[in-house]
Structures are given as C-alpha cells and as structure tokens.
Structure 1
C-alpha cells in the first residue's frame, strides 16, 4: 500500500548482524550495533508528517491516527528479548538472531479500546507499509494476533527502542511489538490494524511461518525455550587449570526455570545458576569451570516453568554448542 511520503531505501531480503554472532551479545541490553536487522522485501523510509494508522474492521469507532495522536496517548516501557524466527523457508535451522531491548510505546489494547473493538472480533490483523517480492510472493506484509494476545498489556505500538526513536531500519516511525513472540509477528512500518473474526489469509500467515506438528500446523507465535553460550567463544584463549566461567543467556515466552551445561559434548550435565528476568527479558546463566587441556565441546540447554525444553537438533531452538581449545 504505497502512500505519499514513502520510499524504499533497499529492496529485497536483507540481514545484518554482529560478525561474532551470539558471542558478541555480552551486554544485558543489546547495543544498536549488535542487534540484528532482518527484512523480507526491503527497507522503507516514511516521512513522519505523512504517516498515519488506520484502525478498522469489527470496530464501532474506525479511526485514523497521525503520529502526533499516538505520541499524545499514554505510553509504557517494556523490556523484552527480541528474536527472529529464522527463515520460513528453512524453519528447522537455528539462526540464533536475538537481543534484549526496552521498547516504549502505546499499548495496542488502548488503541483497540478507543476504536471500540467488537466482542465478535477474535483476531487483530496488522499490515506493514513495505512492498516488493519475497520467495516469489508479492503482497503486503500482514500478520495476525489472536485477540487475547492483542489485548495483552505488553503488546505495543512502539515509538522508541532503548531510549531512542525508532529509525526507519527498525520499522519507524511506528511498529508493532509483540513481546514473547517471534519477531515475525512484530510488524514494522505499521500502516493499518483490522479487527476480524478469522485469521488473516495472506501468505505470511498461511504459507510462511507455520510449523508442522502431529496434530497439524501451528503458527510461529510464542517463543520456545532457548539458550546460548556467550563465553567462552571458539576464539577465546583458555588455559588449563585456570578457573573461568561458562555463561550465556536463556529466554522464552515463559520464564526459564533451569539451565544445564555440558563440558563433554553431552556426556554429562551440570546445573547452572540462573538469574531473574525483568518483564520478558532474557536471563543470565553461568557455571564455574576449571578446564583441563585439550579440545572440548560445550553445550547448554534450558527448560521453562512448564518443563518445556530444547530439542537436541533440527529445530530453531536446538541445543547450542561451542567448541573450545584449552592450552596446556
């Protein structure tokens, strides 16, 4: 949906991320330079003076909100991990693109209340303003949320990320943010919101971002338990018999209750110390280690409060492993 005051700054699929991957993520709050950037069809730049949001569908009070209207509404901050689901063309490949940030914006629930959303609405569709082609599909980027999630207090129409206004690359001036769910649901360059009594029918909800299960396909929504080892990295110089620590991050839609680490390639496991989480932030874990000389394969796995864990392989949240060399 091309509008006045918009232009594409880069066309086609794009990914940017730190060269060191997860081993660059040493800060509790991820710096801008270390936070991944992914887009399906390209980057859009929108003149803030021309931006507006249409709210329609099953609502009693259809609205068009300008940026100033949104800025004048009550806002809240919410800390959350932010993770890409990986390629919808290769859903079982672990990409490990994530960070931990603080979003600030207007609760989506407040906008839906002002629009007088109907009791008949069971989904909320959100459409982005980018255009172009992805995997031979050319249509608007549209996602949907079940009404329970759309009305949850943490879901925001975000205006800022970690204290700074959203840049065009980050989906500014306004993007949807759905903490606890994979980034594909957090629509960038948001242009319209539609209340409906069914799921959206576009490719990004039907063809892409669905996982097969024994009982049928499941939308890629809630983030499954996941953990990564940040340190040591394969490039780190470790010395035999010198105390060090293995540490990293664990996260998921549900709070992580336990993390285990193996220093022998999965032969045995030890419980790590797991820190708290704030809102839906990631959680730090660590384990003291006095490494013997030689080559070692380190692994980590976590479980959430429901007892759900990480599969050993062939999944976007498969167990993470790091190979390290310890000098004599």
Structure 2
C-alpha cells in the first residue's frame, strides 16, 4: 500500500554526472552539482510532514519515528567519499562515479540501541520508498548490512549533505549512508529498518550486486582501492618542457598507503606524494612532471593498508588512464580519457 505524501517524479533508470567526468572533480569537497545521481527505478518525492520510519523485526522496542524525532536526536558529521558501484549488469566495467562529501545525521547505532535490538539479530535490512521495474524485476529497493557494520559509528541516517538538507533527488528527507561501502548500500528515501537473523532475500541482495570470486559469491559492500587522475585532462593546455604536475584522488574503505603514476602506459612507475585522509575522505596525490613533446599515456594505481591494489582492467576499480598529446609549441588536441 502506497504511503500518503509520496509520489514518483521520474520513473525508470536514471544517471546524471558532470560532462568532464573525473576531470571535473577539482574540489576537496565535491559541490552538489558535480555529485553523480543514479536511480534504478526513478525519483521519489516525499512530503516531510508525512514521512516516517518503522523499526521492527528482532527488536524489543519496535518504533515509528517521524522527521522531528530524528531532528531532536544527537547528530554527527562525517566526511566520506561516495562512489557508485557501477551497473550490476556489467560489474567489471569501471564507471568512476565518485565524489567527496560531508554527511550529517543520526548514527544508526543510536536508533538500534533505542529499539533494543535482539542478540539474535545478525543483519539489518533497510528498505527504500521507491517502486518500479529494473532489469525485469519489479519490487521495492531493499539492502542489508551485517550487524557489525550497522553499529559502526560512521553509519548514519543522514539529513544533510554538505551543510544543506537532503533534496528529494538525493534521497531526502532521510537516507541511509554507509561510508566506506559502495553507494548501492546507502538506501535513499528510507522507510523501514528491520533487524533479522539472515540476509534479505530481495533481488538487490541476491540477483544484483554480488561478485563471483574463486571462493564463492561476495556481496558488493566494501569499496576496493581506487584512484583517478584529475589533472591533466586531454584538453589541458600543456607545453613541452614546461613544469606541471599530475594530480588526482585515491580512496577506499581502508586507507590508501601509496599511489604510483606511470608516464609511459604502465612500463615504469613513480611514487606520488600522498596526503592523509579525514574520516573516510578521498586522498590527494600528485607527481611533478616536465612533459616532452609527443603522446603520453598516464596511468595511476594505489595500494591500501591491507596491501590490496588495483587491477589493470576488467574490474570496477580498474586503473584509470589519460592520453595526453603535446606538440613542440602549442598543445595539440587529443583523445578523451578512458
């Protein structure tokens, strides 16, 4: 049964992002107009006066919370990269939909504690309020979190992004935010939270967003280490023998410990200067460069604190490359980055 004060404003799959791709991401905090927007079934607009959140399942104190209830609870801010996992129909294709934002909201752990979550609960199911069809499946959007992640201090029921209330397009008035994990887990337009002793059985946890590995199927949860070159872009006005720098962002669920840059398509690598992260923000890296005339294929790769790195290709976190062509005088037009 559809709730009061709820309507779909656009149906079907939708994507929006900056025309320049990662080369637009020049700010430490990504402006909202440069943050990607992806929906599976469409956009929902929720009347804040009618919004509510049900907490049920394996809890001793089932609750229904209104927006004013959340606004009255303790809030916290948390900076984190926010990345789309890419299409679940093409999981090995790198999409590089990424931004770095500051969320503000109520820690999910506070809600679960007040609901008196049972000791037999091992997963938290979160359901959105959107409905419709995606890839031949018609059902509501539901995801799950292991209880350990759900209780982590960084997981929020977010009310704000970058100091502003969440817009309907961003999942407002309230969305789940799971820093360090791919955006598919950060359910927009959240309407219910259920404590359970098993994984959710819907398509978005069983059919979609699972990766095949040698040891079996693995949920698309923790973000693998990844890096991108923001500058130079193929259209930057570079000249031969003029000092410049190659710089970009690196990120992952675990802190990035090193970044390397290749100037020759991966034949040799140089260590870049890497800055620390805040909360789960992305990390800036840079490498001084004096380009020579000709064509240069720049690549970057990173390694996290666990020793995990980036594959060259065929993965959502595959290495990023930028092809730069430089003449003896004025810069020449070149191919787009891939």
TM-score exceeds 0.5: yes
Q: Does 1:114 align with 2:114?
A: yes
SS at match of 2:91: coil
- In the alignment, the residues of structure 1 paired with residue 48 and residue 252 of structure 2 have an alpha-carbon distance, to the nearest angstrom, of 33
SS at match of 1:149: helix
* Alignment match, 1:197: 197
C-alpha displacement of 1:237 = 1.5
Moved over 2 A (4+): none
Deviations 1:88-119 (A, max 9, x none): 00000000001000000000000000000001
Name the TM-score, length of structure 1 as normaliser: 1.00
* Alignment match, 2:297: 297
Q: Does 1:232 align with 2:232?
A: yes
* Alignment match, 1:152: 152
C-alpha displacement of 1:327 = 2.1
* Alignment match, 2:335: none
* Alignment match, 2:63: 63
Gaps of 5+ in 2: 329-338
Aligned Cα root-mean-square deviation (Å): 0.5
* Alignment match, 1:129: 129
Gaps of 5+ in 1: none
Q: Does 1:268 align with 2:259?
A: no
Number of residue pairs matched? 328
C-alpha displacement of 1:325 = 1.1
Deviations 1:50-88 (A, max 9, x none): 000000000000000000000000000000000000000
Deviations 1:20-73 (A, max 9, x none): 000000000000110000000000000000000000000000000000000000
* Alignment match, 1:10: 10
Name the TM-score, length of structure 2 as normaliser: 0.97
- In the alignment, the residues of structure 2 paired with residue 2 and residue 213 of structure 1 have an alpha-carbon distance, to the nearest angstrom, of 39
* Alignment match, 2:327: 327
- In the alignment, the residues of structure 1 paired with residue 95 and residue 188 of structure 2 have an alpha-carbon distance, to the nearest angstrom, of 20
SS at match of 1:8: strand
